[in-house]
Amino acid sequence: MHIVHRGFDTIALSIQANISADLFKILDAEREKAEEVRKPIPFTYGGAEFDVLPHGGNGYRFILKGGPLDVTWFLKKPNARDPWGIRVSVGSTLLATQGLGFARAYIDKMLERLGVSFENHQVSIARVDFCIDILAPDFELTPEHFVIHSHANRGDYLAADDDTRSNGKSGRFTSVTIGKMPGRQVIIYDKRREVIDKHKPIWWDIWNANLERDALPSLDPTQASTSRVWRIEVRAGKDLLKDRWQVRTWAQLDAMFGDIVAEAFEKIRYCEPSDDGNRARWPNHEIWDLAAVSSDDDLMEMRSHIDPTQIKYVHRQEYIRLILAQVVGNATTLAALEGVDDIELVDYMEQIGDRLASMVEGDREKAFRKLDEAKERYRFIG
């Protein structure tokens, strides 16, 4: 077993501030445009680039996204009676590749460009996820091997038994979730399977960068027998952070989050069964001890040191692969409709290129407009 990544996976926070009335008017007009075309549209303000979604949600008038680094901004209409007008959700890509310190600086910089001023005490952290990815090809997950610590206050921040969920696939368990948000959740799941199923190729680069640093061979995504990665994730919701640990600000998170994670590994344990009838005395499984010990270090600046240009490249290549597969699929369907035989298919595909070129030539203005729109839509990874 070997750790191939550890660090923050999600951060969600609210800001006690509102956008300006001028910015609201501009955004409102942009959202109307997005609603008309029923898709996100590009938006630039103060040097910051976003996509404005054609809808809001959960009381927020605007939702803005900022490209492959996976940061989402939720903005309310300015209201003096509701000072908490901004919410930010930072996803795994930015945190895994650049670290928490970069994420905090990035949030401050983007809000400054939007003309939003606030102090450190006006930040309220609502959710923090921390994960450890372990290369363990031979590990088999057994839900019954979880033991909840005898001192745990289940009523406050541990879920009851019916909140323990497990998912199986192909005759084996692939995930177990214990707990319920916005309290505490501890999850163990087959991360390799999720990366493949949800098309997240950047994780192979993250894992391999860390393996290279440790002078170990890279993972081959096609070989499950040697590339099975299991993720152990601790999720701390706002009830656990604020009520149990009194964590609201960045400074409080810096001081307390290591203890929050350590407590999670004590209260919830994955064990090796023994002959002892008292399950509380079962020893921890090797994978659990490895994850727990690794989380004893300074958690604040973990990152994989992948260059941001590599992130853009991986995302771009994945889009190219998916779109090319769609093009081939559509062309094959067209061939079937036009009665093409198997032996004629390759020649037919060559003819499709000529037909496409003729269609572009027939309406160059429309084709060039579509090209510009596509460049704008994918500008974050272009």
Query: What are the tens digits of pLDDT across the range 45-85?
Result: 998 889 999 999 999 999 999 766 789 999 999 998 999 99
Q: Let me know the angle formed at the C-alpha of 53 by 49 and 55, rounded to the nearest 5 degrees.
A: 150
Q: Is the pLDDT of residue 288 over 90?
A: yes
In this structure, which amino acid lies at residue 3? I
Per domain, the residue ranges of the chain are: 2-294, 308-377
Whether residue 182 is preceded by a cis peptide bond, meaning omega within 30 degrees of 0, is yes
For tokens 């070997």, name the residue.
Answer: 2
Q: Tell me what the pLDDT averaged over the chain comes to.
A: 86
Arithmetic mean of pLDDT, 14-37: 95
What confidence score (pLDDT) does residue 170 get? 58
Block residue for tokens 């037909």 = 355
For residue 326, the model assigns a pLDDT of: 84
> What are the structure tokens assigned to 133, written together?
């990815």
Residue 125 C-alpha from the chain's centroid: 17
- Confidence band (pLDDT; 50, 70, 90) for 382? low
Q: Distance between terminal CA atoms of the chain? A: 37
Model pLDDT for residues 190-225, shown as the tens digit of each residue? 999 999 998 888 899 889 988 988 899 999 999 989
High-pLDDT (> 90) share of the chain, %: 48
